[in-house]
Structure 1
Amino acid sequence: MKKLNLLIFLLLPLFCLAQLTLKGKVASETKALEWAEISILNKEGKIIDGTTTKEDGSFEIKLKSGFYKIEIGLLGFTNYEKEISLEKNTDLGTIILKENETKLVEVVVQSKKKTIEQKIDRLVYNFENNVTTTGGDALSAINTAPGVVVKNDVITILGKGTSRAMIDGRLIELTGEELNNFLKSISAADIKNIEIISNPPAKYEADGTGGLINIIMKKGVRDSWKNTVTASYDQNKYGIYTLRDNFFYSKNKFRFSASVNGKTGYKNSTENLDMYFPDGLSTMRADTKIKNENFSGKLALDYDLSPSTSIGFQFMNDRNNPDFGSDIKIEKYNTQNDLENITLNKSFTDKGSKNQTYNAHLITKLDPLNRKLSFDVDYFNYSSKFDRDFIANNYTPEMEFIDVNQAGKNISNQDIDNWSFKADMEHPLQAFDLSYGAKVSFTNSISDVFFYNTISGTPVLDPSQSNRFSYKENNQAVYVNGSKKINEKWNLQMGLRLENTQTTGFSETLNQENVNNYLKLFPTFFASYKKNENNTFSLNYGKRINRPRFDLLNPFKVYINSNSYSEGNPFLKPSFSDNFELAHSYKEILRTSIFVNAITNGYGVVFTSNPETNTQIVTRENYFKNLSYGIGETYSASFAEWWSSENSLYFLGAKTEFIKDINATPSNSLQIDFTTNNTFVLGKNSKLQIDFNYSTPFKSGLYEVGYVSSFDIGFKQDLLNKTLQIAFLANDIFNTSYLKNFTSVVNGVKQVYSQNESNRFVRLSVVYNFGNKKINVKERAFGNQDEKKRAN
């Protein structure tokens, strides 16, 4: 970094040679004009410099001698253009701008965005035309993105692996079920688009084997206010009510937004588990009623200190209270398949979680060459509780009571704090665009597990199954990234990120400390070649890391039921992956991608068992290395003015090897994933959506997974000049999108598991928009003219 700063310092005088002054004043016929935008263009018509006028209408720009074109613009006035040859210091005098003769009160330009836009390092998904997301949340919107699936609390890019999620480029410090609950609290109506970044540039964190899903939120229109109210009702076995309100306000230098989301109701979950022990089959059937109670909110404030500098603050809060009661039936058969005994396990779990996210940021444009410096300070806190009472009674096959198998109380709490500080610099140079920055983060996690034996009727603490576990993780990162448009055909981008990580895990009960320090480099490379107007090729590579979730490191047991428990592993280490992708785009209609993903030191869930006690044990291990590969086709079509379609077809394969002594044999097979989303325009204000997806059964390493499919129908009607929308969704009509036949064979015991969490439901949504399209403000222009025009 010191060498880079020295290089910039030494080269700076060269850029200052032969600088001439171009100045002048801008006025109307009656007064000087402040905030007029001055743009300087070269011979090729590219903007190379610019500024805005001061209070007295004056401006001054330093340029080399040469031929230029000056453009002056201000809202409400006719643009001014003039070509100049600059050979000496030049004063253009007073330039008079004429007022527009026609004052437009409001101009609404409606255009249909491309659903998928391919950029050099990401895919941009615009889902505004997808009817099924109306009244939905961020998680359901992500699940409609091409090549992205949400399954079993995991967001995955097909062929890549588990993905992390961001909001406006800021990483969400949640994973798994907690991340999904948080995304469900965000209205899809608040999202502008979703970026699918399978190989993130060096600017972003290297965590996440499958890359990043970046959710870009709507910002609202300049100098206006708007409010959106959404009410929806989901009916599965039970019902769920959702109410959301989102408010935007912008005037002059001030921008404010707020949202409140509430959800209440229930959903049903059914689970089936068959375990083939040497002495006979053991089956488990569980029926769970889950309380779906959520309250969340967001506040965001931005203020322009000057035309080049803005500051902002953002706060997000999310609270969940998913209490649930379960009825579990366990049947034990002998080798002749005769029923020997039945265990009925009844439990109730008081579960809750909450998280708060704070962000403060400053963004400043350093000069007319668009050098931009930004600072971010983030604080994140997550806390959860888990209080479960259960009792399991043994019965004869004739349902005569025998005895109490087990009775207990599980109490678990977790608290996570994370501070991060980040600085990013965008530094355009004459030869290429340079960016660099640094980030430090500090994470502290404390979790405890207490188990009380209640078989006697009085809770008795079991120290052997109780523990307090603390985990600290500090990370320091620096990066540099360079991009260059070589010519009209070639674009290149290269980056390098260095991350230094220190972790400490301490179990108080075991008096055991695990320390891990590692320094890793994460290179990235992107190249695109535009052969002609119809064909574009791209190649990218990135190295990634996948760090274990904090709760997976806690070594103590949490009982799922009387003969099944889960335990973490404090010795888990991160896995690493190398991602390669070659892609071709034809007319931005047909996209083909060929990809390879190599994972080393991979970790995951291992379903083992104890044949002596007929107990299932869920553990986590670094146990494999994997090579995934595949080819994906995405096709966007408009078969008619009233019928548009988005389709994808993926062929996926893998080769897995175990790096740990596991009494199991790895196996892999071809997987085919097909999705089609079709939008039909029934009239000026009516749309019909018909979606279908299907994924074949496949084998992957330790597991075999059954097929998954879904057939969805949605309808949307716009009313009152599109201020009111009514939408209907029938999701997973045939009830086939759940996890089924999840099979593994370890220690000679075959386990087959299925889970269905109310994926089949119908939804009725009502969305109402109102507000003032334009607020009377002092006319001014920012350096970026697009900002004045950006719309939600």
Structure 2
Amino acid sequence: MQRIYMYTLVLLLISTSTIAFAQRAEVAVQGKVLASASKAPVDFANILLLAPADSSLVSGAVSDATGAFHLTIPSGDYILQVKGLGYKPYTERLTIPSGKSELTLPAISLSEESVQLQAVTVSAKRPIIARKADRLVFDAEQLSLGAQNALDVLKQTPGLNVSDDGISVIGKGNVIVLINDKRVHLSGKALVNLLRSYTSRDLGQVEVITTPPAKYEAEGNAGILNIVLKKPKNDFFGGSLSTGYRLIKGKSGGNVSGNLNYKQGKTTASLTAGYDRWVYAGGFATEKTYPSTQLYSESATDMLMKSRGLNLRATFDYDFRPDFSMGLSCSYSPDGGKVIRDNDTRDYDLPAKTLKKYALGTDTEESDGGYLATNLHLEKTFPAHPGRKISWDFDYVFSNSKTDDDFQAESFTPQKAVIPGSDFVYSSHGTKRANSFLTNIDFTLPIGKAQTSFGIKGTWSHTENGLHYKRHTEPLLNGRREDISFDEHIYALYADASLPLSAKWTSRAGIRLEYTHNAGTQDGQGRLNLKDYLNVFPTLYLGFTPNERHAFSLDGTVRLERPGFFQLSPFPRYENQYTIMKGREDLRASKQGTLTLGYTLGGKLNFSAFGKYRWDGITQFIELDAVTNQAQYLFGNNETEYAWGLSNNYYFTALSFLQAYLNQSVQYTKSKVRNDEGKGWDNEMLSYTAGINATIFLNHAKTLTANVNAEYGTPRIDGGFKIGQSFRASAGLAYALLQGKLKLSAGVYNLFIKEFTATTTTGGNTIVARNYTTPNILNLGITYSFGAPIRGKQARGNADDVRSRM
């Protein structure tokens, strides 16, 4: 029945789009807004057509990333008004002649706003923070002072947590990452390596999309991060080379990367490559207390991790005609590594804490895998009908991994004698292969004053997981093979509409329907307990901008987070013989609704009040056995969470030698964790976080900079666990030479740090986890950028030929 419902909606959408495209406005007006000095496009400028009699709003539009705008209006006389943040307002009288179906206006040039103070003229800069209809936009050029690559820029972007394992929004979770509005189907270290290969000069702006339009996947509880690269200059060839060195507790590693950019005529192309190899030494500990059996156990694990990764990405764009273009991209990221864990677990009798026994174990895990992602994009615009656009995308994503795991442990008496029959052996070979095909078609259509978009998308994924127990202490598992396959099909319909309500009020609303079909088998037989479901994801935005300095917004959205591979895999993973982690194949996606009220002042000061509700939250439920001291970490849709909070951030630029970003947030969280049997625990807590990221200019030319970053957090709740107080600080130096083409950098991460702790109580038993050896990391880096106009090079070559002949 649900499939019939979805197919009916598809037919209705297509028929509606056909009727809408058949409509014809009286006059289609289009134009472009440019900065007068640089001739760069001005995006998000407000274009307003006012009635001459009373200056009431007749129609309006917002310029896109290329500065283009379009609207449909009857012929007649109007007042044209154009406003952009950091620019002087532009006003002129405009006559739309009758008898024409379309009109192209000359380019509109906006001058930077300036203020005369006695004999000194101060020109307004583009704001560091701009609040737009669905996102916060950060000027990458001002963020990147002292930064070496795109990853460094993101580390200085407010609200983001960037590490070698990925990118997330502080206190909210993982994000979907886009580059130039196209999703990057990479994650973890592969994504980090890709971003490290782009220099800071390549970035134009960073957009944190807090209320994503309906065309984007509903995935990602924290929203979407869109990295906008600067558009290459015409007739240009150039690129950059980077290398870095890392030292962690006496273990060295490094990375090298480069990119090339080419644009001539109708062709634009780029090639990015990077290689990363590093070693990490760390560790963690757990403490378990069982009052019922008077048992206390402590376990310490030291880890040595070696990792390597290659990243290749190529893009090609071609404009067949001004109204028809094609884009191709391909990413390939093989990686591998080795992890050695040495574990020491000791059991004590309480209350005297007398040693009862101890176990020593070693786990060696080797892995190889990689990602392959391709995209084909076609786009058609309609010059006779400005604002109308059709685009089509096709994606193919492939990932695979192979893991060999070998664990051996033995238990001893306090007198160091081996306990007979206590040996534990586990050896396995695991595989994973996933293929995904994605396609979507999107329509953009102006209807009156509103700008609408709608589309349809399908995703088909097939995953095969296998595990061979080559050796196992348990006779039932020794030599056993298990194979599980998953099929997931997602069909989506979506629509958005943006409407300027007046010169100061804007609105946007959208809805996305997703139908998900799941199927699976185990060992080639038996259908897994999977369910189909239909979800509705609404989005809403209302903005009020009384003038260029003030911006208010109210937005609401519903998002989801799908389970990852290890959360779905039912195969056990061992920290030691006392700690087992298992996934669950029938996990549902967790969902979260968020409502946010925001205010931005002068592009530097920002406040946000928010409330969120999460249900079907994916978290681990811990089952502790007081007799055997075994802890099982079982993934499930166990958590329901409520949270309310207030966040504030401010960019300080009053001193010429200092630029600092300060942020703070206070949040009340209430969490309830329950397993299928209704067992669990409740937590609630008020938490506070604060941070500063300061760039200090050490010379007048601002080519020598120092950076200091510090973060502090009170105890908080995360995934049903109580997280302890946290603090960390990092510092670095950067020096730019050759007009910024050569950059040298040095930094120490985790210069000061407090160990991470997590605590929970289940069934009267308490478990505490500690990350006790987060190390200091020394980073050294060099980046060189190069490039020149192609025609300029040809001209120099022709001149050399003439001189040779003479």
| TM bracket, shorter-chain basis | 0.7 to 0.9
Q: Provide structure 1 residue ranges, at least 5 long, that are not aligned to the other structure.
A: 22-39, 51-61, 71-80, 96-109, 779-792
User: Are 2:391 and 1:378 aligned?
Assistant: no
Distance 1:63 1:435 in 2: 19
Q: Partner of 1:694 in structure 2? A: 712
What amino acid is aligned across from residue 643 of structure 2 in structure 1?
S
- Structure 1 residue 774, shift from structure 2 partner: 5.4
- Structure 1 residue 131, shift from structure 2 partner: 6.1
- Structure 1 residue 47, shift from structure 2 partner: 10
Q: Are the structure 2 counterparts of residues 546 and 712 from structure 1 closer, same or farther at C-alpha, using a change threshold of 3 Å? A: same
Q: Partner of 2:89 in structure 1? A: none
Q: Partner of 1:104 in structure 2? A: none
Q: Partner of 1:406 in structure 2? A: 424
Determine helix, strand or coil for the equivalent of 1:321: strand
Distance 1:167 1:254 in 2: 19
Distance 2:126 2:216 in 1: 27
After the TM superposition, which residues 131-210 of structure 1 pair with which residues of structure 2 at under 5 Å, given as runs? Answer: 134-135=147-148, 138=151, 141-149=153-161, 155-158=167-170, 160-173=172-185, 177=188, 186-187=197-198, 189=200, 190-210=202-222
- Structure 1 residue 68, shift from structure 2 partner: 9.2
- Structure 1 residue 183, shift from structure 2 partner: 5.8
Q: Partner of 1:741 in structure 2? A: 757
Q: Are the structure 2 counterparts of residues 213 and 389 from structure 1 closer, same or farther at C-alpha, using a change threshold of 3 Å? A: same
Q: Partner of 1:665 in structure 2? A: 681
Q: Partner of 2:354 in structure 1? A: 338
Segment drifting more, 145-154 vs 207-216 = 145-154
Q: Are the structure 2 counterparts of residues 227 and 347 from structure 1 closer, same or farther at C-alpha, using a change threshold of 3 Å? A: same
Q: Provide structure 2 residue ranges, at least 5 long, that are not aligned to the other structure.
A: 1-9, 30-46, 53-58, 64-71, 81-91, 107-122, 795-806
Distance 2:597 2:212 in 1: 15
Distance 2:129 2:342 in 1: 45
User: Are 2:504 and 1:489 aligned?
Assistant: yes
Q: CA contact under 8 A between 1:667 and 1:701: conserved in structure 2?
A: no
Q: Are the structure 2 counterparts of residues 464 and 123 from structure 1 closer, same or farther at C-alpha, using a change threshold of 3 Å? A: farther
- Structure 1 residue 393, shift from structure 2 partner: 2.1
Q: Partner of 2:586 in structure 1? A: 571
Q: Partner of 1:74 in structure 2? A: none
TM normalised by structure 2 equals 0.81
CA deviation string 1:72-112 (max 9, x = no partner): xxxxxxxxx9987846689x9xx9xxxxxxxxxxxxxx996
The number of aligned residues is 716
Distance 1:757 1:773 in 2: 50
Determine helix, strand or coil for the equivalent of 1:551: helix
- Alignment equivalent of 1:254, drawn from 257, 267, 272: 267
- Alignment equivalent of 2:532, drawn from 517, 521, 524: 517
User: Are 2:552 and 1:537 aligned?
Assistant: yes
Q: Are the structure 2 counterparts of residues 460 and 222 from structure 1 closer, same or farther at C-alpha, using a change threshold of 3 Å? A: farther
- Alignment equivalent of 1:725, drawn from 717, 739, 743: 743
User: Are 2:716 and 1:703 aligned?
Assistant: no
What amino acid is aligned across from residue 249 of structure 1 in structure 2?
Y
TM normalised by structure 1 equals 0.83
- Alignment equivalent of 1:229, drawn from 217, 241, 252: 241
Q: CA contact under 8 A between 2:574 and 2:580: conserved in structure 1?
A: yes
Q: CA contact under 8 A between 1:474 and 1:502: conserved in structure 2?
A: yes
- Structure 1 residue 318, shift from structure 2 partner: 0.9
Distance 1:20 1:214 in 2: 31
CA deviation string 1:521-569 (max 9, x = no partner): 1111100011334322110111122222233222221222222221111
Q: Are the structure 2 counterparts of residues 8 and 726 from structure 1 closer, same or farther at C-alpha, using a change threshold of 3 Å? A: closer
Distance 2:60 2:450 in 1: 15
- Structure 1 residue 141, shift from structure 2 partner: 4.6
- Structure 1 residue 65, shift from structure 2 partner: 5.3
Q: Partner of 1:115 in structure 2? A: 128
Distance 2:650 2:546 in 1: 20
Q: Are the structure 2 counterparts of residues 460 and 409 from structure 1 closer, same or farther at C-alpha, using a change threshold of 3 Å? A: farther
Cα root mean square deviation, aligned: 3.6
Distance 1:614 1:659 in 2: 22
What amino acid is aligned across from residue 729 of structure 2 in structure 1?
F
What amino acid is aligned across from residue 298 of structure 1 in structure 2?
R
Q: Are the structure 2 counterparts of residues 777 and 726 from structure 1 closer, same or farther at C-alpha, using a change threshold of 3 Å? A: closer
- Structure 1 residue 172, shift from structure 2 partner: 4.3
Q: Percent identity?
A: 22
- Structure 1 residue 724, shift from structure 2 partner: 0.7
- Alignment equivalent of 2:437, drawn from 419, 424, 430: 419
- Alignment equivalent of 1:361, drawn from 377, 385, 399: 377
Q: Are the structure 2 counterparts of residues 67 and 355 from structure 1 closer, same or farther at C-alpha, using a change threshold of 3 Å? A: same
Distance 1:663 1:63 in 2: 63
- Structure 1 residue 125, shift from structure 2 partner: 2.9
Determine helix, strand or coil for the equivalent of 2:217: coil
After the TM superposition, which residues 675-690 of structure 1 pair with which residues of structure 2 at under 5 Å, given as runs? Answer: 675-683=691-699, 684=701, 685-690=703-708
Segment drifting more, 547-556 vs 646-655 = 547-556
- Structure 1 residue 625, shift from structure 2 partner: 1.5
- Structure 1 residue 353, shift from structure 2 partner: 2.1
Q: CA contact under 8 A between 1:206 and 1:545: conserved in structure 2?
A: yes
Distance 2:515 2:760 in 1: 36
User: Are 2:328 and 1:313 aligned?
Assistant: yes
- Alignment equivalent of 2:461, drawn from 443, 467, 471: 443
Q: Are the structure 2 counterparts of residues 242 and 178 from structure 1 closer, same or farther at C-alpha, using a change threshold of 3 Å? A: closer
Q: CA contact under 8 A between 1:130 and 1:679: conserved in structure 2?
A: no
Distance 1:200 1:398 in 2: 62
What amino acid is aligned across from residue 164 of structure 1 in structure 2?
I
What amino acid is aligned across from residue 697 of structure 1 in structure 2?
P
Distance 2:190 2:253 in 1: 20
- Structure 1 residue 609, shift from structure 2 partner: 2.1
Q: CA contact under 8 A between 2:147 and 2:153: conserved in structure 1?
A: no
CA deviation string 1:485-523 (max 9, x = no partner): 122110000111111110113222883522311112111
Q: CA contact under 8 A between 2:498 and 2:508: conserved in structure 1?
A: yes
Q: CA contact under 8 A between 2:461 and 2:489: conserved in structure 1?
A: yes
- Structure 1 residue 755, shift from structure 2 partner: 2.5
User: Are 2:292 and 1:292 aligned?
Assistant: no
- Alignment equivalent of 1:625, drawn from 627, 635, 640: 640
What amino acid is aligned across from residue 447 of structure 2 in structure 1?
L
- Structure 1 residue 152, shift from structure 2 partner: 10
Q: Partner of 1:713 in structure 2? A: 731
Q: Are the structure 2 counterparts of residues 607 and 149 from structure 1 closer, same or farther at C-alpha, using a change threshold of 3 Å? A: farther
What amino acid is aligned across from residue 776 of structure 2 in structure 1?
R
- Structure 1 residue 652, shift from structure 2 partner: 0.9
Q: CA contact under 8 A between 2:430 and 2:466: conserved in structure 1?
A: yes
- Structure 1 residue 341, shift from structure 2 partner: 2.1
- Structure 1 residue 656, shift from structure 2 partner: 2.2
Distance 2:12 2:527 in 1: 43
Q: CA contact under 8 A between 2:198 and 2:258: conserved in structure 1?
A: no
Determine helix, strand or coil for the equivalent of 1:342: strand
- Structure 1 residue 435, shift from structure 2 partner: 0.7
CA deviation string 1:364-420 (max 9, x = no partner): 212251312111100001111110112112233343444552122022111111110
Determine helix, strand or coil for the equivalent of 2:567: helix
Q: CA contact under 8 A between 2:197 and 2:273: conserved in structure 1?
A: no
Q: Partner of 2:627 in structure 1? A: 612
